[in-house]
Structure formats: structure tokens, C-alpha cells
Structure 1
Amino acid sequence: MSLRLVYSPAALADLDQIWRYSAESWGEERADIYLGAIRDTLLLLSHNPGLARNAGDIRPGLMKYGAGSHVLYFRVRADAIVVTRILHSRMDAGRHL
């Protein structure tokens, strides 16, 4: 059984920004492929959230998992994965979460 994926407004904005930057840098097709890979990773996590690592040192209850050059930050609920942010791996997560 898989968990629902729920996106915070900030995570949705992150996805939009990632696509725009990728499209400007490498073209729309590559941006679509990259965003698809991020979404595939989230789908994988919805089936097996135990793959992620604890990020409780940043915020209590937070989990993280890498996807390309980005890190997915989320919380696991009884019936859903709540995606908090999707940040570039070079970003200071403590400042942005």
C-alpha cells in the first residue's frame, strides 16, 4: 500500500522554480525529464518511506532523501507523505525549512 503524496505550498513553489531554472539552463525537455525523476522518487518513497534518512537534526520528525541535485524533505503521516521542501543539495536546509 502506498501513502498519499501531499505537497506544501513551498514544495510546489520549489518544483516550479526547479522546472523554470532547468528549462532556462538545459531546455524544456530536460526540465520535464528532471522533474519526472523527482516525482518518480517521491512515488518510490510513498511505497517505501523507510528508504529515507532521518533529518531530525534540522527539524523534529523530518525525513530526507536525495533526488538528482536536490534533497526532498518530508514528514511521514499515517496515510500520507507531506513534502515540505525540495531544496538544492548546496542550500542550507536549516535556513530554508
Structure 2
Amino acid sequence: MHELFVRPRARSDLKEIWGCTGQQWGVVQANQYLVDLNREIQKLLKFPELGTPCDHFRAGYRRLQVKRHLVFYRQSGQRLEIVRVLHDAMDVKNHP
């Protein structure tokens, strides 16, 4: 099993997702959304190839669609790095 590392920008993304979701749909829904995101991220620890390669974005990166968000990650040995978590409507090229 891989070791999970969440990069600071991804942590910031998750906080922003929680805040926006909480404002629009309430704290309970925001908490549940993050639980759902985390559950899918945990699956990557066992199956890192689950996501789609996205070398056109960054070499070695993969992405996993979770509801309306894209989890960008890369594998380095036994380490799985969550790099960004972006809304699927965002232009990912503008959010390195």
C-alpha cells in the first residue's frame, strides 16, 4: 500500500471546497462531500492506476473524477501525492 501525501495546494483546495459547499448547501453536506472525496482518494492508495493519465497537463500526473471535482495526483515510488483538487468546470491550465 502507498503512503499518502497531500500537497499544501491540495489542502487549500479541499478547505475551499468545504467552505463553498458549506455556504451553498450547508455544513452537513460539506462534511459529506469531503468524506466522499476522501473515500475515493483512499482507493488510490490500493489502486493508483485507477485515475486517467493526464500527461498533457503535467508529465506523470493522473486524475480521478470524483463527483464535480478532479483529483490530480502522481505516484513516486511508494508515495502517492495529491497535487490539486479542482472543480471540473475550471480551466486546469490556469491552476498549476
Q: Same-fold call, TM > 0.5?
A: yes
Question: Which segments of 5 or more consecutive residues in structure 1 lack a partner in the other structure?
Answer: none
Match of 1:88 in 2: 87
CA distance in 2 between counterparts of 1:40 and 1:80 reads 18
Match of 2:69 in 1: 70
Number of residue equivalences: 96
Structure 1 residue 4: Cα displacement: 1.3
TM-score by length of 1: 0.96
CA distance in 2 between counterparts of 1:52 and 1:36 reads 19
Percent identity over paired residues: 26
Structure 1 residue 64: Cα displacement: 0.4
Q: State the Cα deviation string for residues 41-63 of structure 1 (Å, max 9, x = none).
A: 00001110111110100111111
Match of 2:78 in 1: 79
Is the partner of 1:58 in helix, strand or coil? coil
Question: Which segments of 5 or more consecutive residues in structure 2 lack a partner in the other structure?
Answer: none
CA distance in 2 between counterparts of 1:81 and 1:94 reads 22
CA RMSD of aligned residues (A): 0.7
CA distance in 1 between counterparts of 2:85 and 2:47 reads 18
1:53 aligns with 2:56: no
List, as ranges, runs of 4+ consecutive aligned residues in structure 1 with deviation greater than 2 Å: none
